[in-house]
């Protein structure tokens, strides 16, 4: 099967020599580091510093940097008592981009939350290949609808908010949502295109369950959270991905958690808020 890769990894399907592509990637990385030395140090040191370098597994290496955020981590069944009795459907669990997609335990935790809470209207910010989208649909009630937003394929590489290029994580390409497109769940999923800071959040809301996993700067995490708080139904849940791993997301969640009940889920980079 042809493997599709995320454009921001710099890998292209066919064309160009491997060495030339590697050199171009290295040059781009060095330019970004030179422009953002402090952010680059904070991102790279925990990942490649002396302790991390000893860990032979790249995913494990990343896991040991889940160190930001003030919320203590709690087991999923402490946050959702009774969830331990839930059976979850996991779809295409290992059709994933290591380091970019959610981990299998995160997909499992989100599937369990959806089975447990039975949301009718779900919104995901950041579709990427649609692995989480298809798992949201597979675990939601048959009558539920899943809306998922990503930057449009013809995105002009300009965010609505100011984003330093080291934080660019746009996965615009024809593989957005590829994991749900030809599945039996596709007819309950609506792909939306736009920038989450410029998008009409009310148009398809209110929602019972919102997953925030788009642009990961502090400004975007705050903007997405404020919009989510506006369009979530009473009794609904907001889930953030990358809590604990990304400083900006963690800080935004910590600040908003002062106003709502929010908890971080053990063994994952998920935080859940109950407005």
Ligand X SMILES: C[S@@+](CC[C@H](N)C(=O)[O-])C[C@H]1O[C@@H](n2cnc3c(N)ncnc32)[C@H](O)[C@@H]1O
Which residue lies nearest ligand X, judged by its C-beta? 126
In the complex, least distance from residue 193 CB atom to ligand X, rounded to whole angstroms = 9
Q: Name the segment binding ligand X (CB under 6 A); options: 16-24, 47-55, 125-133, 267-275.
A: 125-133
In the complex, least distance from residue 220 CB atom to ligand X, rounded to whole angstroms = 6
In the complex, least distance from residue 104 CB atom to ligand X, rounded to whole angstroms = 11
Q: Report if residue 132 touches ligand X, rule: CB under 6 A.
A: yes
Residues within window 70-89 making contact with ligand X, judged by CB under 6 A? none
C-alpha dist (Å) from residue 99 to 3, 41, 59, 77, 226: 16, 19, 6, 26, 27
Interatomic CA distance for residues 101 and 90, integer angstroms: 14
CB nearer to ligand X: pick between 213 and 248: 213
CB nearer to ligand X: pick between 132 and 250: 132
In the complex, least distance from residue 85 CB atom to ligand X, rounded to whole angstroms = 25
Interface with ligand X (CB under 6 A), residue from 66, 116, 128, 243: 128
In the complex, least distance from residue 19 CB atom to ligand X, rounded to whole angstroms = 28
C-alpha dist (Å) from residue 23 to 5, 11, 19, 30, 207: 18, 12, 6, 10, 45
Q: Report if residue 101 touches ligand X, rule: CB under 6 A.
A: yes
How close are the terminal C-alpha atoms of the chain, in Å?
43
Going by C-alpha positions, the residue among 76, 100, 253, 271 that lies closest to residue 175 is 100
CB nearer to ligand X: pick between 116 and 128: 128
Interatomic CA distance for residues 71 and 268, integer angstroms: 13
In the complex, least distance from residue 148 CB atom to ligand X, rounded to whole angstroms = 8
48-73: buried (b, 16+ CB within 10 Å) or exposed (e) per residue? eeeebeeeeeeeebbbebbebbebeb
Give the start-end residues of each E strand in the chain. 73-74, 121-125, 145-150, 189-193, 207-212, 232-241, 261-265, 270-274
In the complex, least distance from residue 197 CB atom to ligand X, rounded to whole angstroms = 6
Q: Name the segment binding ligand X (CB under 6 A); options: 66-74, 124-132, 139-147, 229-237.
A: 124-132
Q: Report if residue 268 touches ligand X, rule: CB under 6 A.
A: no
Residues within window 187-226 making contact with ligand X, judged by CB under 6 A? 195-197, 213-215, 220
Residues within window 163-182 making contact with ligand X, judged by CB under 6 A? 169-172
CB nearer to ligand X: pick between 116 and 159: 159
Interatomic CA distance for residues 157 and 151, integer angstroms: 9
* Category of 3 on φ-ψ map: left (φ > 0), alpha (ψ -120 to 50) or beta: beta
CB nearer to ligand X: pick between 172 and 268: 172
Show the tokens assigned to 240: 């953030």
Residues lying near ligand X in the complex (CB under 6 A) are found at 101-102, 125-129, 131-132, 149-151, 159, 169-172, 195-197, 213-215, 220
């Amino acid at each position: 099967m042809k493997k599709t890769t995320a454009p921001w990894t710099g890998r292209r399907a066919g064309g160009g020599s491997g060495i030339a592509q590697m050199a171009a990637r290295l040059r781009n990385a060095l330019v970004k580091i030179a422009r953002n030395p402090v952010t680059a140090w904070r991102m790279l040191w925990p990942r490649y510093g002396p302790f991390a370098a000893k860990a032979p597994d790249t995913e494990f290496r990343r896991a040991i940097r889940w160190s930001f955020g003030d919320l203590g981590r709690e087991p999923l069944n402490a946050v959702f008592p009774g969830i331990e009795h839930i059976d979850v459907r996991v779809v295409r669990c290992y059709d994933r981009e290591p380091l970019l997609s959610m981990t299998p335990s995160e997909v499992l935790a989100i599937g369990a939350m959806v089975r447990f809470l039975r949301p009718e209207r779900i919104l995901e910010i950041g579709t990427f290949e649609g692995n989480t989208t298809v798992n949201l649909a597979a675990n939601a009630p048959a009558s539920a609808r899943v809306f998922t937003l990503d930057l449009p394929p013809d995105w002009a590489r300009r965010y609505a908010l100011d984003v330093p290029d080291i934080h660019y994580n746009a996965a615009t390409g024809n593989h957005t949502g590829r994991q749900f497109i030809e599945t039996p769940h596709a007819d309950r999923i609506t792909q939306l295109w736009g920038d989450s800071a410029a998008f009409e959040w009310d148009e398809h809301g209110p929602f019972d369950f919102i997953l925030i996993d788009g642009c990961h700067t502090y400004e975007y995490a705050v903007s997405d959270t404020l919009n989510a708080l506006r369009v979530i139904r009473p009794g609904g849940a907001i889930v953030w991905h990358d809590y604990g791993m990304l400083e900006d997301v963690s800080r935004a969640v910590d600040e908003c958690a002062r106003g709502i009940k929010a908890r971080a889920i053990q063994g994952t980079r998920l935080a859940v808020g109950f407005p």
